[in-house]
Structure formats: C-alpha cells, structure tokens
Amino acid sequence: MDKFRLTPDQEAFHILLNALCKYGNIEEAEEFMLVNKKLFPLETKSFNIILNAWCNISVDVFEAKRVWREMSKCCVTPDATSYTHLISCFSKVGKLFDSLRLYDEMKKRGWIPGISVYNSLIYVLTCENCFKEALKILDKLKEEGLQADATTYNSMICPLC
C-alpha cells in the first residue's frame, strides 16, 4: 500500500483477513491480525473473521475455543455474530450441552439469536435424538418472528436420514 501511496484502511484489512481464511490460511490471517494491532486495533469484527474460519471453514473446536479465550485476553467483547459462529461449530461436532449453554449466555447478554443459531440448535438436538426439543426450538423460532427456511428443515431432515 505504501508503494502505491494508498492509506491502509479497516475495510481492506478485513477483506484481506477474509480472503486468507477463505483459502485455508487461517493461522496466517490470525498472525497478520495480531502483528498489525498497532495499525488496526483489535476489535470484534476482526476476531469474528478468524472465529468464523475456525468454526465454519475448518470446524476446529479446539482452535475456536482458543480464539474465544484470546478475545477475552485482548479485552474484545464477543457480539451476536461471535456467539453464532461458536454455536454453529459446537452443533456441527455434536456438542449439545455447549451449544445450549452458549445460546443461554447469548440471550442473557441481550443478543438476539438469528435464524442461524436456531438452525444450529435444531441440527444438534436432532442429531442427539432430541426431536421433541428440536420441534420446540422450531416453534420458538416462529414466535421470534423468524421464517423457517430450507436450511431450517434440512437441519432436521439430514440427521434423521
């Protein structure tokens, strides 16, 4: 950027982090984020990019938990997106208790769960043979004014197959 006399900006930084993660360079993206913390202070959005990569691209619970702890160490507060990524990761690997615990914590902190959170909960509940509870989550989703979509129903159908 210096060579072309461009000023570094936050949006370009996030695009680069996203691109690195998308193509499997998650560790490099995380290192790049930490190395450049003077130029781009650590914030929730940057951590969410890394967290999303560990949770939804690589589905590595160990690394996702480590990034979650790192956020806390850096005094970066998780937001609704952070919770959504981690709940998704836990549900994909069948961690029912952790998924529900985070869902409860998310609500206690005042974050409103979106359709992705409900889909993840429906998936993990159905995988763990808690079909009645999955149907209750589906009802809760509708009570919240959200519209069930194909992903919602596939979150039930796939584990049952």
Q: Which residue has the tokens 């889909």?
A: 119
CB 87 within 8 A of CB 56: no
DSSP state of 112: P
**Contact, 57 vs 85, CB < 8 A?**
no
Q: Record the tokens describing residue 70, joined without a space.
A: 């790192």
pLDDT in 10s for each residue of the chain, 161 residues? 677 777 778 998 999 999 999 999 999 999 999 999 999 999 999 999 999 999 999 999 999 999 999 999 999 999 999 999 999 999 999 999 999 999 999 999 999 999 999 999 999 999 999 999 999 999 999 999 999 999 999 999 999 99
- What is the pTM assigned to this prediction? 0.93
Tell me which residue of 103, 110, 64, 76 sits closest to 87, measured CA to CA: 103
